[in-house]
Structure 1
């Protein structure tokens, strides 16, 4: 049961989110508080953007536990970014390897997940057959997340072709529609394969400028995952090893999405309702809407 955080907004140093909070992602790697599996020691990864250099994100992944990687502890205070993804892994599908460590990157996109498709192997062949050939060649690991990501990218490409905008980017609502279509197509494949177990999609996707997240279970009454948001009226500063919130200026806003509440102060957090989208636009407007 993996854990993650996703941040977008005013540029921030990575250690302010990964290391310093009371319930930081580093601490969750050996003692998660909102999960049945408290240890997430099967590797970690961080992805971040520097739009002055390139549109594609930087990516650092490791098979070492986050708590035992000096490179993460040493370098986090040197990474400053407006958009950061970080993930700690408890392996379910796919072995412990760099190729299976989240987040995953395709061109300007990053994606990571806490959850997955149970009995994925029963639909893996059908899903592969659905993929664009070039996108299929991009996959180099075994996790279902990579195949979900590949299906999303395939659907994005098809929509661009349909709209005759292959050299352009889709708008925000079009990307959100592609996420919904991705989930819907997987559920059709599961139905044909007579799979009745739930799929869990606590998933975050970004191009470094806007962000889409989901808290979604096909059977939330049976199994779900926690997801929290601390959104655009808060800022994050360190004081006594605790993140605090306060009124901020327009250009200092930010949005933080996390599998677990990072702070003792729970007032700055809102639990994302089950089966809902979070959509964070470039101006950091936040929409939380039902996901059918």
Structure 2
């Protein structure tokens, strides 16, 4: 089913989030607590930013299980960044390969996904016809996530969105992307559901969606740490969930599962919503248009 975590805020050593918490992403790779599939051992990926070096992110991926990769365990303790995405995979569409491990880099963007387009192979050929040349040539793997990102970027350009996109433009682009896919399924008489728990970032702003074409069957959890402060000097880089008001928030965290036992700090992202975390840590939620699988 896959699990992931995304961080934006004051610089932090990534192991403080992906390894140290009781229910860390590493723990979820062999014993996920909020997933029907408890083992996510088909590879992992880490993408992070260092704007002083370049605007494009770095990537580290492996087909080894996260719990058994010494490179991850070693490097996570020395990578310090203001923004990263980390993902552990339980393969559905596409084989176990580096090319299919999340997150995926598109210019300065990183994207990862927990979910799937059921019956993807039945619409794959038709979906390709919707892509512009740049997006089509970017795809290197076989999983549906890369095609979703390619379609989103195609729509972004065709909608003539100028960076930085407004919140409404992001909502509109995701709505169009999900609708385009469901139209392809409908044309083939496919009524299976699609799930899109997605995180997209450029290292300065983060967007996440929790979306299912049948919300009554949405089984994939997604959380936002509503009140979080990660002051390196105060907490020695540890993840701390502090009682802070919005204007004092210094970091934001999105996760497939609650990482700590501080239940009251973890807010479930509403079904079929998009959340935007801006560079000033302002957090806003937007309703996405609901598209039935058989529309």
Q: Determine the C-alpha separation between the residues in 1 that align with 2:142 and 2:56.
A: 23
**For residue 47 of structure 2, what is the aligned residue in structure 1?**
47
Question: Residues 264 and 243 from structure 1, CA distance in 2 versus in 1: closer, same or farther, beyond 3 angstroms?
Answer: farther
Matched with 1:139 is 139
For 1:246, which of 219, 236, 242 is the aligned residue? 242
Partner residue, 1:261: 258
1:272 matched residue in structure 2: 269
Aligned mates of 1:223, 1:19 — CA distance in 2: 28
2:229 matched to 1:235? yes
1:195 matched to 2:190? The reply is yes
Shift of 1:123: 0.9
Q: Distance in 1 between matches of 2:189 and 2:218?
A: 19
Residue 173 of structure 1 corresponds to which residue in structure 2?
168
1:27-66 to structure 2, matched below 5 A, reads: 27-66=27-66
Distance in 1 (CA, whole Å) between partners of 2:266 and 2:242 is 13
Q: What's the CA shift for 1:178?
A: 1.2
How far 1:252 sits from its partner (Å)? 5.9
Q: Which residue of 1 aligns with 2:292?
A: none
User: What's the counterpart of residue 71 of structure 2?
Assistant: 71
Q: 1:237 to 1:90 in 2, by over 3 A?
A: farther
CA contact (8 A) 1:55 1:108 kept: yes
Q: Does structure 1 conserve the Cα–Cα contact (< 8 Å) formed by 2:6 and 2:86?
A: yes
Is the Cα–Cα contact under 8 Å of residues 231 and 250 in structure 2 kept in the other structure? no
Secondary structure of residue in 1 paired with 2:116: strand
Taking the aligned partners of 1:46 and 1:12, their CA distance within structure 2 comes to 14
- 1:148 alignment partner, SS class: helix
State the SS of the aligned residue for 2:54.
Answer: coil
Once residues 12 and 73 of structure 2 are traced to their aligned partners in structure 1, the CA distance between those partners, rounded to angstroms, is 16
Q: Aligned-residue CA RMSD in angstroms?
A: 1.9
Q: Is the 8 A contact 2:199 2:208 kept in 1?
A: yes
Cα shift at 1:78? 0.8
- Which runs of 5 or more structure 1 residues have no equivalent in the other structure? none
State whether residues 217 and 224 of structure 1, in contact with CA within 8 Å, keep that contact through their aligned partners in structure 2.
no
Cα distance per residue 1:176-201 (max 9 Å; x no partner): 32122111111111111111010000
Q: Any stretches of 5+ residues in structure 2 without a counterpart? A: 290-295
Task: Say which SS state the counterpart of residue 50 (structure 2) adopts.
Answer: coil
Matched residue SS, 2:76: helix
Q: Greater CA deviation, 262-271 or 171-180? A: 171-180
